[in-house]
Homo-oligomer: A and B are copies of this chain.
């Protein structure tokens, strides 16, 4: 696999800054996580921005799309906040010959029991097997970008048509 990773912020990268008594997007965790899991494939990481996904603008999404189009790799992993993930995914449709998977976490990677490493793992498995296109990997499920939404009440991702 030849993988390009684009980080955009979101809960997955949130850490606690005791000095600020606050909780903010920090350094991207993805590189460290992959190393700790013994990942051996080559990959490049690009930090596009460090924002909560609800704060992403159309310019931000255009920037993410450009990064995905421009990179040499055929597989693109995007770590992203969960609230705006579907919207960004839709802005990535139609890029020829690339398999793009967006993922993130409901609990920051810094937390005990975080879903970050599980969701990243699922995204990697999909990236190596799926046909070109745009997908979301959350709560252990792989979704095509046209058939997924975040169920805010239940705090999870689901298909729109109800079929798993």
Contact = CB atoms under 8 A, between A and B. Distances in A.
Interface of A: 1, 11, 14, 16, 18-19, 21-23, 33-34, 36-42, 52, 54, 81-83, 101, 106-108, 110-113, 115, 117-131, 137, 139-142, 152, 155-156, 158, 164
B121 A118 contact: yes
A61 to B, nearest CB: 18
B16 A14 contact: yes
Top 7 A-B pairs, shortest CB-CB distance: A121-B121, A125-B125, A23-B23, A125-B126, A129-B129, A129-B130, A39-B140
17 contacts: A11-B16, A16-B23, A16-B107, A16-B111, A18-B107, A22-B23, A23-B23, A33-B118, A36-B113, A37-B118, A38-B115, A39-B140, A40-B141, A125-B125, A126-B129, A129-B130, A129-B131
Given A117-B117, A124-B140, A41 B164 contact: yes
Given A18-B82, A110-B112, 5 more contacts: A34-B140, A37-B115, A37-B140, A41-B140, A120-B121
Contact of A106 (B18, B110, B124): B18
Given A16-B14, A111-B111, A139-B38, A54 B129 contact: no
Nearest to A39: B140
Nearest to A36: B113
A98 to B, nearest CB: 15
Contacts of A40: 139-141, 156, 158, 164
Given A40-B164, A52-B21, A124 B122 contact: yes
